[in-house]
């Protein structure tokens, strides 16, 4: 039987189609393995290296993780002189993640997180005057809209309210920060992730920023946090902060 030109072309197209499927599967598998490598690096405390590996994947998940890892490195490990530049780079990673996947709640959480860390280097009033409060709040709201179970977004929302209230009366009025909304957001984060030591720690910090009369409730959460099992480097960092805060509060 003679094979027509159309049949040959169809055969080539079929081969190309299945080759593309195999290539796609291999690419996804490689990305998955690389992402796992980045997670292992971060879990071991190698946050900067984890950010490089994750960003190298080139997808939204990778860039979001790169942003998170670099922000942690900048805030917890790097020297003060490098922090601002690291946060600028982390913001770019988060923005890239949002561009690649506008439906990623995690990407918006990391955008809020990195903007917040950068804003802290400017000082509260400067950050507020330059519009960071609005940008951070918009990213948090988008993250919650995309995933109402994203506890990190609620944790960020609680902190957004408490930080602005802590900044002073005028900031409180200007941005509509609300103590009850802050407490509700922390409570939602806790409901979703009751065994995360950072949730209890951030809740305690927020309580004290809202009102120093909340010390008993803050101590309650700190005492829970200090007893929770630590499974990675970041949780260990948080545990160390919890212990420092407990010592400071109990010595007063």
Q: Do the domain assignments include residue 43?
A: yes
* 126, 143: one domain: yes
Distance between CA atoms of residues 128 and 116, nearest Å: 11
What is the per-residue pLDDT for 34?
85
Phi, psi of 2 (to 5 degrees): -75, 140
Write down the pTM of the prediction: 0.86
Q: Do the domain assignments include residue 108?
A: yes
Question: Which among 132, 147, 162 is the end of a domain?
Answer: 147
* 28, 134: one domain: yes
Q: Do the domain assignments include residue 159?
A: yes
CB contact at 8 A, 180 and 206: no
* 223, 180: one domain: yes
Query: What does each of the 252 residues of the chain score in pLDDT, given as a tens digit?
Result: 444 544 444 443 444 443 433 333 334 444 568 899 999 999 999 999 999 999 999 999 999 999 999 999 999 999 999 999 999 999 999 999 999 999 999 999 999 999 999 999 998 778 888 999 999 999 999 999 999 999 999 999 999 999 888 887 556 667 778 999 999 999 999 999 999 999 999 999 999 999 989 999 999 999 999 999 999 999 999 999 999 999 998 877
Q: Do the domain assignments include residue 89?
A: yes
Q: Do the domain assignments include residue 12?
A: no
* 137, 199: one domain: no
* Mutual angle of helices 105-122 and 151-167, in 10-degree steps: 20
Q: Do the domain assignments include residue 13?
A: no
* 26, 122: one domain: yes
What is the per-residue pLDDT for 96?
98
Q: Do the domain assignments include residue 143?
A: yes
List the structure tokens of 117.
């860390």
Domain total in the chain: 2
* 80, 102: one domain: yes
CATH number at residue 241: 1.25.40
Question: Which among 112, 147, 182 is the end of a domain?
Answer: 147
* CA angle, residues 93, 46, 62, in degrees to nearest 5: 30
What is the per-residue pLDDT for 168?
73
* 227, 142: one domain: no
* 168, 213: one domain: yes
What is the per-residue pLDDT for 25?
35
* 196, 248: one domain: yes
Question: Which among 125, 147, 169 is the end of a domain?
Answer: 147
Distances from the Cα of 242 to the Cαs of 152, 200, 202, in angstroms?
18, 9, 10
Output the 3-class SS for 178-196. CHHHHHHHHHHHHHHCCCC
CATH number at residue 96: 1.25.40.10
Residue with tokens 């002189």: 81
* CA angle, residues 232, 237, 242, in degrees to nearest 5: 120
Q: Which domain holds residue 79?
A: 19-147
């Amino acid at each position: 039987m003679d094979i027509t030109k159309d049949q040959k072309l169809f055969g080539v197209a079929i081969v190309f189609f299945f080759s593309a499927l195999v290539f796609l599967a291999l690419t996804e598998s490689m990305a998955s393995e690389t992402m796992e490598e980045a997670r292992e690096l971060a879990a071991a405390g190698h946050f900067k290296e984890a950010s490089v590996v994750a960003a190298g994947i080139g997808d939204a998940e990778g860039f979001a993780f790169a942003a998170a890892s670099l922000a942690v490195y900048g805030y917890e490990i790097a020297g003060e002189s490098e922090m601002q530049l690291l946060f600028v780079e982390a913001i770019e990673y988060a923005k890239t993640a949002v561009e690649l996947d506008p439906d990623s709640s995690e990407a918006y959480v990391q955008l809020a997180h990195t903007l917040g860390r950068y804003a802290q280097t400017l000082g509260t009033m400067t950050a507020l005057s330059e519009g960071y409060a609005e940008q951070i709040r918009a990213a948090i709201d988008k993250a919650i809209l995309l995933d109402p179970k994203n506890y990190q977004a609620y944790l960020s929302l609680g902190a957004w309210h408490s930080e602005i209230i802590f900044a002073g009366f005028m900031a409180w009025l200007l941005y509509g920060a609300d103590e009850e909304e802050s407490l509700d957001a922390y409570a939602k984060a806790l409901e979703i992730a009751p065994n995360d030591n950072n949730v209890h720690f951030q809740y305690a910090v927020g309580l004290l920023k809202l009102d120093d009369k909340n010390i008993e409730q803050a101590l309650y959460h700190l005492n829970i946090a200090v007893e929770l099992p630590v499974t990675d480097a970041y949780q260990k960092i948080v545990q160390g902060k919890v212990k420092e805060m407990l010592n400071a509060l109990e010595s007063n």
